[in-house]
Amino acid sequence: MASGSDSGRGMWSNRWVFVLAAAGSAVGLGNIWKFPYIAGENGGGAFVLIYLVCVGIVGIPIMICEVMLGRTARSSPIHAMRKLADKAGVSRHWAFIGWMGVVAGFLILSYYAVIAGWALNYVLLTAQGTFTAISAEGAALAYNDFLASPIQLMFWHALFMVLTIWIVGRGVSRGLESAIRWFMPLLFVLLVVLLGYSFTSAGFEQGLAFMFDTRFEAVSGETWLVALGQAFFTLSLGMGAMMAYGSYLPENISIGKTVVIIALLDTFVAVAAGVVIFPIVFANGLEAGQGPGLMFITIPLAFGHLPMGALFGTIFFMLVSFAAITSAISLTEPALSYLVEEYNAKRKRVAISLGVMCWILGLGTVFSFNIWSTGYIVGQMTVFDFVDYLSQNIMLPLGGMLIAVFAVWVLPQTAVGEQLGIKSGFLSVLWKLLGGVVAPVCVLVIFVYTVLPLFSNLA
């Protein structure tokens, strides 16, 4: 890797490091519990097919746009949008895209680190045999007692933040790339091990049927909306992470081909997670409940009643923790790179300052599960609910739409040609249709679909 300045303006050493870094950003907690469940509930194999279509028309075009903007400007998202606006001869107010992405990523990190801390705790609990032969009531009690303890949540939140900040503070080469080279291969190894374990479980066929039986009768208009939303959110779009990572991408690497590989890897992990989880759940006659309850109650209970369950349960929560860390790294990078560039500051000092600020902000999420659990700030939303809703359902879709519009309709076509190799003809028309019309319109539909219920509830 070319050594960068203290700002970390280095380069990924090769294409596959960038693929692993971007895939690490995309692969997170949502892949492991959310995608498998919504696939099973929305037509199984039919949903997977619809999801792949949505990735193709929404996820991949917007990711190409975001990576392209980052590599063109070679700067953090905020500075990148300023430079590109100047290059296009338009208002610098387009830098709002960068600001919104950086703030959204920081807000998401503040609560993501709290929940990721739970996974770290469950690595320890599972390794100690806490869930061996435990009852359903015991698993639920352990989870609820953990959430009721602010001190425990604060500790694990702090530990996860320390790990994340230590990695990003070391820079692009010694920090980001070194971590990715370790964590992502280990993630795939653990996933393969768990797939083998799941294959031997009594519920393997039932789990496969839940995930892959093609049930088009279960498909509705809402199924398409759910698939569109999952395709957008799962790829870490709209938060500046792909723009920041793209700024480290060498010029000789094809953005389009690389983004397709990233999307396929992200989908593979999500599908494989379902193949791991549901056979184990069904083998114990348990409900495939959605959300944190699946990950922190149902799955520990399931492993607790299987041969060598403590070992493979520990491996599972290590997998979850690795996925969380690689995502957290990408959430930190946009804000970190901006502050280092803006103030010519030492990367380590900025990383520590951001980590402390994020930990303090995350206390709102910690307390939302215990002492502030009835402290609603908007409607029936706790601090955690509000921060999650604001960042995920408002800021990210708006950012994704504006990124696509800017990249296709505002950025000079010479820059697009240089970065993507699109000059004219059929590819140019297809690029403008998918990136400039279909993708932003679909994200607008997602935005309206997710925001309207909030206003209905407030009314």
Of residues 65, 141, 80, the one with CA closest to residue 296: 141
CB atoms within 10 A of CB 88: 15
Tell me what pLDDT residue 7 has. Answer: 41
Kindly indicate the confidence band of residue 360, based on its pLDDT and cuts at 50, 70 and 90: very high
Amino acid code (one letter) for 94: W
The CA distance from 138 to 23, in Å, is 36
Query: Residues 140, 300: contact at Cβ < 8 Å?
Result: no
Tell me what pLDDT residue 85 has. Answer: 96
Stated as kind and residue range, the H or E segment containing 333 is helix 309-343
* Residue 9 falls inside a structural domain: no
Per-residue DSSP letters for 374-402?
T--SBTTB-HHHHHHIIIIIIIHHHHHHH
* Residue 411 falls inside a structural domain: yes
The CA distance from 351 to 451, in Å, is 33
Tell me what pLDDT residue 290 has. Answer: 57
* Residue 8 falls inside a structural domain: no
292-301 burial: b if 16+ Cβ within 10 Å, else e: eebbbbbbbb
* Residue 307 falls inside a structural domain: yes
Average pLDDT of the residues in 232-249? 90
The CA distance from 71 to 419, in Å, is 8
Average pLDDT of the residues in 256-268? 93
**DSSP assignment, residue 59?**
I
- Is residue 10 pLDDT above 80, yes or no? no
Task: Quickly count helices (H) and strands (E) in the chain.
Answer: 23, 0
Model pTM score: 0.90
Full domain range(s) for residue 259:
15-458
Q: What is the largest CA-CA distance in the chain?
A: 66
- Is residue 459 pLDDT above 60, yes or no? no
The CA-atom distances, in angstroms, between 134 and each of 99, 262, 360 are 47, 39, 35
Helix (H/G/I), strand (E/B), else coil: 217: helix
Number of domains in the chain: 1
Which is higher by pLDDT, 94 or 446? Answer: 94
Kindly indicate the confidence band of residue 84, based on its pLDDT and cuts at 50, 70 and 90: very high
Lowest mean pLDDT among 1-5, 25-29, 46-50, 66-70: 1-5
Which is higher by pLDDT, 73 or 234? Answer: 73
Tell me what pLDDT residue 351 has. Answer: 94
**162-179, pLDDT tens digit by residue?**
999 999 888 777 778 888
Lowest mean pLDDT among 165-179, 321-335, 379-393: 165-179
What does the angle CA 248 – CA 251 – CA 255 come to, to the nearest 5 degrees? 80
Mean residue pLDDT across the chain: 88
363-380 burial: b if 16+ Cβ within 10 Å, else e: bbbbbbbeebeeeeeeee
* Residue 49 falls inside a structural domain: yes
The CA distance from 35 to 32, in Å, is 7
Tell me what pLDDT residue 379 has. Answer: 77
Of residues 2, 9, 22, 20, the one with CA closest to residue 64: 22
Tell me what pLDDT residue 293 has. Answer: 72
Half-sphere exposure of 329 (CA within 13 A, CB side): 30
Tell me what pLDDT residue 109 has. Answer: 95
316-347 burial: b if 16+ Cβ within 10 Å, else e: bbbbbbbbbbbbbbbbbbbbbbbbbbeeebeb
The CATH number of the domain holding residue 378 is 1.10.4160
Kindly indicate the confidence band of residue 79, based on its pLDDT and cuts at 50, 70 and 90: very high
* Residue 427 falls inside a structural domain: yes
Average pLDDT of the residues in 419-428? 83
* Residue 70 falls inside a structural domain: yes
* Residue 285 falls inside a structural domain: yes
Which is higher by pLDDT, 295 or 359? Answer: 359
| Portion of the chain with pLDDT greater than 70, in percent | 95
Helix (H/G/I), strand (E/B), else coil: 66: helix
The CA distance from 76 to 332, in Å, is 12
The CA distance from 39 to 27, in Å, is 16
Distance of CA 334 to the CA centre of its chain: 14
Which is higher by pLDDT, 423 or 337? Answer: 337
Which is higher by pLDDT, 24 or 437? Answer: 437
